[in-house]
Amino acid sequence: MESLVSTEWLEGELGAPDLRVIDASFFLSAEGRDARAEYEAGHIPGAVFMDIDEIADPSNPAPHMFRPEHKFASRMQSLGLGDGNRFVVYDNSPLHSAARGWFMLKSFGAHFVAILDGGLEKWKAEGRPLETGKPQVRHAHFTAALDDTVIADKAYVSGIVHSDGHEIVDARSAARFTGEEAEPRPGLEAGHIPGSKNLPQGKLFNPDNSWKQGDTLRRAFEEAGVDLSKPLVTTCGSGITACVLLFGAHLLGKEDMKLYDGSWSEWGADPATPKAVGPA
C-alpha cells in the first residue's frame, strides 16, 4: 500500500477485512469545533475516531506527548486496530492532523499506514458515501514497539541549535514564528527556536486539499530555505502540524528526520531555552 492513497482507491477497498479507516481530525479550542461530534455526524463508512487528546500522555505538562507503549497499544486495541491491518488515516481539519495519526502508528511499529489524499473534504466534494454514529468494533491486538530514534526531546534540540549539520523546521504560521502573533496557549513566550526555518504546513497542499507532490512539493521546502540533504527535525505548537512536514518529506523519500514532540509548548514555556523573534 502506498503512503498516500486516493479517494477512488479507498472507496474501492471499503469492506476489505484487513482494512481499518481512522478519522484523526483535531481542532484547536479557539476554532470552536468538536472533532468527535463532527465524526459522529458523518464519516467514511467503517471509520473509527482517533482522539488525539485522549491518546496523549496525561502525566506530561506539554500537550499531545507520546504515551508509553502499553498505553498506546491499549488505545489502539479498543478501537479495533490490530497487528496485520492496513490503516488509512484521514481528517477534516485545517491542521491536517491525519499526519499525526500516521506518524504515531508508524512510530509504534505499524507497517501499512497511509493518509487519504484530500481527506474528508475531498471525499465529500466527490459525493462519496458517509455514515453516522459510532461503528461497533471488535477488540484487536496491537503490538506497540516505539522507535524512539524518530523522536527528539528538548535536550537533543538544544544540542543542534544553530548547527550547520541539521535543519530545524517550524510548521506554525509565519506570524507565530516571527512572534508578531501571540501563542494560543497561555504561559508561552512568542517567537521560534533560534536557527530554525519556517514552513507553514498549509503550504504543502493544493487548493482542493490534496497533497503537493514531486517537484511542486520539493519547491515548498526549497522556498523555505530547507536543505533536505541534512537531517531534519520538525516542530510546531504541540507536535501536531510538525507531522505534516514529516509526511511531506517522507513523500520525497527522506528518512533521516525526527519530530520534536514537545515543540513550542515545551520550548516556549521554559525560561532557560533561547528564543528568537522576527524572520528566520
**Which residue range forms the structural domain that includes residue 23?**
4-146
Active-site position among 24, 236, 251, 280: 236
Helix axes 98-107, 242-251, angle to 10 degrees: 70
Identify which has the larger pLDDT, 136 or 210.
210
Instruction: Tell me what pLDDT residue 223 has.
Output: 98
pTM of the model: 0.96
Q: Are 95 and 156 contained in the same domain? A: no
- Tens of pLDDT, residue by residue over 87-131, are 999 999 999 999 999 999 999 999 999 999 999 999 999 999 999
pLDDT digits (tens, 9 = 90+) for 175-188: 999 999 988 888 89
Does one domain contain both 163 and 134?
no
One-letter amino acid of 93: S
Is there a catalytic annotation at residue 236? yes
Task: Please identify, among 117, 146, 175, the residue that sits at the C-terminal boundary of a domain.
Answer: 146
The model's pLDDT over 3-48, given as tens digits with 9 standing for 90+, comes to 999 999 999 999 999 999 999 999 988 888 999 999 999 999 999 9
Using the predicted structure, report yes or no on whether residue 280 has a pLDDT greater than 90.
no
Cell numbers 533561547 label which residue? 274
C-alpha cell, 160: 543542534
Per-residue pLDDT tens digits for 197-254: 999 999 999 999 999 999 999 999 999 999 999 999 999 999 999 999 999 999 999 9
Indicate the burial class of 40 (C-beta count within 10 angstroms; 0-12, 13-18, 19 or more): middle
272 domain residue, yes or no: no
Task: Tell whether 127 and 160 lie within a shared domain.
Answer: no
Q: Are 44 and 125 members of one domain?
A: yes
Same domain membership, residue 153 and residue 140: no
Side by side, the strands of the sheet bearing 19-23 are 4-5, 112-116, 86-90, 19-23, 48-49
